Every structure is written in C-alpha cells, then in structure tokens.
Structure 1
Amino acid sequence: MGTQRILSGMRPTGKLHLGHYTGALENWIEQQNLTAQDGTRVYETCFLIADYHNLTTSLETGDIYQHTIDMLTDWLAAGVDPEKSPVFRQSQVKEHTELFLIFAMLITSARLERNPTLKEQVRDLNMESLTYGHLGYPVLQAADILLYKGSVVPVGEDQIPHVEITREIARKFNNHYPHPTKGEVFVEPEPKITKFSRLVGLDGKAKMSKSLGNTILLSDGPDEVQKKMRQAVTDTQKMRKNDPGRPEVCAVFSYHQRFSSPAQLSTIEADCRSGALGCVDCKRMCSEAISRELAPLLERRKPYEENPALVRSILLEGEEKARVIARETMQEVRSAMQLGEL
C-alpha cells in the first residue's frame, strides 16, 4: 500500500501543558519518525491547527493568532518536523469548508444526533442548546481527514464514533459519485487505537486544563515546575512524613509513573507505603523527573520563541503544501460530481 497518510490536529488554545504532551504530541512524533526496515517512512503526517473547530463550542476566539503561534511553538519544541509534516490552519485552506458543505448533504441530522461523543460533550460543557455547527462537528472532521486522503486515524476509544461517521460519509460519496477514471475518490480510513496517557490535574480531581489552573506547561522551567508541584494534591490521609501513604490515590505518584525511571518508581512506591518518604521530598523528586524530560523541549523552543517570524514562516509554508493536496482532492471531487464541467 505504500506510505499511509495520517492527519492529526488540535484546537489553538495557546501554550500546551503536560497533558497535551502525553496525550497527543508523543504519539505524533512517534508516527512522524516511524520508519520501515528499508528506511522509508511508515506514515506521511500532516498536523492541523483546527481553528474552525474552536467555533463549534464557543464564538469567543480571543487572540487566536497568538494562540496559534504559541501552540505551534510547543509543537516544534516537542519535535514536530515541518520538513516531514506540514503544519497549517484549517481556516487558511478554503477547501475544508467546501468539502464540509458537500459532505453535509450526505448525512442526516438524526444520524449526527445519535453520536455518543456529541451527547457527552453537551453534558460535560453544560450546553443548553446545540448549534448546527456543533452538531456537524464530525462532518467537518470527516472533511479534514478525507481532504488529505487520510487512511489511518489515530484515536482513543471514545473517538471511534467520529471515525465511523467519516467512513460512512466516504462510502456514501463513493457510491453516489464514482470517479470516471479512478473509481473511488476516497479510501475509508481505518481507526488506529492509540494509547493516550492521560494525566490528572495538579488538583487530582480532573484532567489538566488551563481553565482550571491545574497544569504544568511545556514551557515551564525547573523553578516553575517545582513551584507548581508544591501545590499538587497528595494522599489526604498522609498527614505527616512518617505516615504510610497510598500511592494509588496520589496525583503526584501518577506523574512519577510517567516521568520517573522504573527503578526510581519502585523505590518511591515502597518508601511511600512504608512512610519513609515524605510528600515534600516526593514532590521534589517528581519535579526533577519532569524537568529532565522537558529540558530538550526548552532547548529546542529557544530559536522559535526568540523569533516568532520563523514560526510564522513555517506555518505559511505548511499551508502552501496543504493547499496543493487539498486542491488535487477537490478537483477529483468536482470531477466525480460533474460540478464545474464546461
């Protein structure tokens, strides 16, 4: 089959935190750099800044351009290579909305209302009413994926319903509009269940979220990491250093599980349970482990942070590459539909 293409993306919310890193960026970098035995890349990767998707749940965009630059800086610091992986804004490739409009004709509102992920979003965001755009979120997502002929979609299990909608739309388009020479315009993408390492927030009550103020940013230096870690929630029953602890209910230990070495983790768990390790020292060790992992990212981000124009040029170049792919796809779509033929 040759190299398969993956499109992944994020909404532009500004600087990213550890939850973004362990939940998505690590997988992105692995997919970008994965090679076969003959040295060829297993996947072509494209990374989307999903600024239109921001509007599906809120009309407040804030300084969306600065949020985009801040987020892209974190992507580059984490290891996204723009030579391998074009990075681009959804709003700057007009074919996204064109294909979204066409796809909207191929699916019923009743089908979209049955989407379990949508129901969970409405519940979690305490939404009183549903906009047409939010209802059509999976259709826009399908346009994002199929515009770039994405054949593999890395997702967590909760996102499988969205991939199934994408597959249904691709299948319906192919059945209704066979291409005169190529047959099927779209390949039905396969979901690739990816292990996403979720991190609880420093408050121990929810996932990391900047709106909740419970995050460690990828751009935080060692002093800031240590300062934030001091506020992290631990085992509420461990009141004094010598009290035995319960690592399984401690937010700090969950970070150790991801950032500390296996040998160190084993010692920390045993000493916590016995009471030999106090929370102050445990947090200090955790801060050091996190900062060790962030050190290469902080080093790589320096040239981008010092030169925002460089980040902008990478973005504009990526958008030109994306437009080439998008135009080719839409030419096939219009040909299959006999739209614009003279």
Structure 2
Amino acid sequence: MATARILSGMRPTGKLHLGHYTGALENWVAQQNQCSADGNRAYDTYFLIADYHTLTTSLSTDDVYAHSLDMLVDWLAAGIDPEKSPMFRQSQVKQHAELFLLFSMLITSARLERNPTLKEQVRDLHMDSMSYGHLGYPVLQSADILLYKANVVPVGEDQIPHVEITREIARKFNNHFPHPLYGNVFAEPEPKITKFARLAGLDGKAKMSKSLGNTIFLSDPPDEVLRKMRTAVTDTQKVRKNDAGRPEVCTVFSYHKRFSTPEQCEEIAAGCQSGALGCVDCKKQCAANISAELAPLLERRTYYEARMDEVKNILFEGEAKARTVAEQTMQEVRTAMKLGEANCSATFFNTSCS
C-alpha cells in the first residue's frame, strides 16, 4: 500500500495554547506515528511554518522569526519528530512563491471572492478592504499543498472550500499542462475530515485566542494552569457549592470532557448537578488533569529551550529536505509548462539561456 502524504501548517504566532493542541497538534503527532497494516508509516508528514501567510493580515514582521522558533519548540515538545517529519518555514523555500505565482494564473478573482471562509474572515476582522495577497491566500495554500504532492489534507468541515480550490487548480493545471512523460503532474488531494476538539476560551468565548487573553499555554507550569483555571467561567446559576449546577453549559466541564477520564466526568457531572461538588474543587481537579497531560511536553520544552542551536539546526535541516522535494516538483511544473532553460527564448532579453 502506497504511503499517503500530508502537509499541515500554522501561522507563527509564538507559543501555542491548549486550543492549538487539541485542535490540530495532537492529531499531527498521531498521523506522524500511524502505521498501516503492513507496518509501514501510513503518512509521510510535512509541517509548515506559514510565515508568508502572516502578511495577509499584518505587515509587521518584527517578531515572525522569534515566534517561529517558539512555535517550533512547542511542536517538538508535543512529539513532532524531525527524523520523520520535516519542519520548515515557507519563506525559506522559494518554490512556494514561484508556484503561487503560476497558480494565480489559473483562477479568477470572482472565484476567490466566492470563498465562504474568506467572507467570514472579512466579517470577523471588520475589514473595509483587503490586499491581493489576502484575496489570494487560498491559492498560496494550494501551492503549499501541491508543492509536496500532498494527496490528503486534514481539515475541519469549515476548511473544505479551501481544499476544493486546491482540487480545481490541480485539475486545471493538469488539463492545460500535461507532462510529456506521464501526464498529470498533480493528484487532486482528498480532504480528510477531522473532528477537531475545539476548546472554548477560559472566558467562555467561542475559542481560545491570545488576543482575548483567555488561553492556557502548553508552556504554562502547574501553578499557572491552576491560577488561570480559577478565572474560568462556570454556570452562572451555580453561585454556591450546594447549588445545583448544569455541566452542559460550564466551560470547565468542557475541559473535563477532554482532559479527565470518562469515570471522572461522570462523577463530576453528578456532583455538580447535586450540589455536592463546588466549582473551586472542580477547577482544581481540572487543572491537575491538564497539567498531568502537559507534564511530558514541559519536560521536552525545557530540554529544547536549553538547546536553541539544536532547534535551529532542526529547522535548517527540515528546510533543506523541503527544498529538495519542492525543486523536484517545480522541475516537473516547468517541463510541463515549457518554461526554463531548454525552452526559453534568448532573443527577448538578448541573453543566453545557459
């Protein structure tokens, strides 16, 4: 059975929080380590630090490198293995920009404007206008995916429109530019619907966000996790310990469902509903369970933070591996499009093709 290939990525925003962990990172580790029935890896996994993508919403680049390293340390702490999974910055593999430019010729602005995810971003960010780069960021995502011949894309249901754009671009490229030796350059990637565990913020908002200050970071020690958990929103009708509570509307209980055992959750729900369990004790137990799961991550983070030269070397080696794969793809693209040395016209610039 052929090994499928996955590319996943995140924008470099610095240290990661529990929302990143349950929403994506732990799934990445599982995919990296998953084996097929024959004992081989089920997926080749590539992980992208999407620093170009940060420019679609902010032109400030002062902290991008530091944030990239912080995020990389969290990836390593969570269990991403550089021997199995190259990790690299988008900006350091120039083939991303080249393929993005070529793909931009294969899709209309009207098609991009119909992207429902883009419409939601414009609404949520209260944008009066957008740059060409922001409008075209699904095209850059398509280049990210297809540059590594990824044929499986793990996404939540809200991201399916992006995968469909990638499939359309791959199909159009293959139809217009068949390779002279083997036809299609790109496979049309299939979405792999993943039921990401979305965690609400400590304030009960829809999601954790550093900008809202409602996060627990993967790097938070137990005392900080407990301090933050004490501020978490609970059932507003449960004012005192003996009041009957409603676990189904409690933010803390939503964390219990992810970080506590089923038996613990059953006991906590019963104690909350009867009034036997107060919110203070409930939060203490939740914080302890979160810290227990984060303990090995903290240990690995401490190791890597003391060895930042090793972290940087992991990044540079991942980028070298990525460039090798990316350049092979681009050679196929240039051959299919009849671009490059063997096909260039020297007369236009009055220079040699060699």
Q: TM-score range by the shorter chain?
A: over 0.9
**Equivalent residue letter for 1:7:** L
Once residues 38 and 3 of structure 2 are traced to their aligned partners in structure 1, the CA distance between those partners, rounded to angstroms, is 12
1:276 aligns with 2:254: no
1:255-334 paired onto structure 2 within 5 Å: 255-334=255-334
Once residues 62 and 259 of structure 1 are traced to their aligned partners in structure 2, the CA distance between those partners, rounded to angstroms, is 36
Deviations 1:26-61 (A, max 9, x none): 110010000012210010000000000000111123
Structure 1 contact 88–322 (Cα < 8 Å) conserved? yes
Once residues 184 and 320 of structure 1 are traced to their aligned partners in structure 2, the CA distance between those partners, rounded to angstroms, is 26
**Equivalent residue letter for 2:328:** E
**Equivalent residue letter for 1:44:** D
**Equivalent residue letter for 2:291:** S
Once residues 141 and 64 of structure 1 are traced to their aligned partners in structure 2, the CA distance between those partners, rounded to angstroms, is 19
Once residues 3 and 82 of structure 2 are traced to their aligned partners in structure 1, the CA distance between those partners, rounded to angstroms, is 18
1:208 aligns with 208
Deviations 1:208-235 (A, max 9, x none): 0011110000001110100110111111
Once residues 122 and 293 of structure 2 are traced to their aligned partners in structure 1, the CA distance between those partners, rounded to angstroms, is 36
Q: Secondary structure at the match of 2:154?
A: strand
Once residues 110 and 300 of structure 2 are traced to their aligned partners in structure 1, the CA distance between those partners, rounded to angstroms, is 47
Once residues 214 and 232 of structure 2 are traced to their aligned partners in structure 1, the CA distance between those partners, rounded to angstroms, is 8
**Equivalent residue letter for 2:282:** C
**Which runs of 5 or more structure 2 residues have no equivalent in the other structure?**
343-354
Q: Secondary structure at the match of 2:320?
A: helix
Q: Secondary structure at the match of 1:206?
A: coil
1:185 aligns with 185
Q: Secondary structure at the match of 2:88?
A: strand
Counting aligned pairs with the same residue, the percent is: 76
Q: Secondary structure at the match of 1:154?
A: strand
Q: Which of 300-309 and 170-179 deviates more?
A: 300-309
Cα drift, residue 104 of structure 1: 0.1
Deviations 1:311-332 (A, max 9, x none): 1110000000000000000000
1:253 aligns with 2:267: no
1:132-281 paired onto structure 2 within 5 Å: 132-281=132-281
1:125 aligns with 125
Once residues 60 and 158 of structure 1 are traced to their aligned partners in structure 2, the CA distance between those partners, rounded to angstroms, is 28
Structure 1 contact 152–190 (Cα < 8 Å) conserved? yes
TM-score by length of 2: 0.96
Once residues 187 and 337 of structure 2 are traced to their aligned partners in structure 1, the CA distance between those partners, rounded to angstroms, is 17
Once residues 195 and 47 of structure 2 are traced to their aligned partners in structure 1, the CA distance between those partners, rounded to angstroms, is 19
1:39 aligns with 39
Provide runs of 4+ in structure 1 moved above 2 Å. none
Structure 1 contact 11–51 (Cα < 8 Å) conserved? yes
TM-score by length of 1: 0.99
Deviations 1:240-272 (A, max 9, x none): 110000111110000000000111110000000
Once residues 187 and 174 of structure 1 are traced to their aligned partners in structure 2, the CA distance between those partners, rounded to angstroms, is 9
**Equivalent residue letter for 1:205:** K
**Equivalent residue letter for 2:116:** P
Structure 1 contact 335–341 (Cα < 8 Å) conserved? no
**Equivalent residue letter for 2:292:** R
**Equivalent residue letter for 1:294:** L
How many pairs does the alignment contain? 342
Once residues 234 and 303 of structure 1 are traced to their aligned partners in structure 2, the CA distance between those partners, rounded to angstroms, is 36
Once residues 61 and 197 of structure 2 are traced to their aligned partners in structure 1, the CA distance between those partners, rounded to angstroms, is 28
Q: Secondary structure at the match of 1:8?
A: strand
1:5 aligns with 5
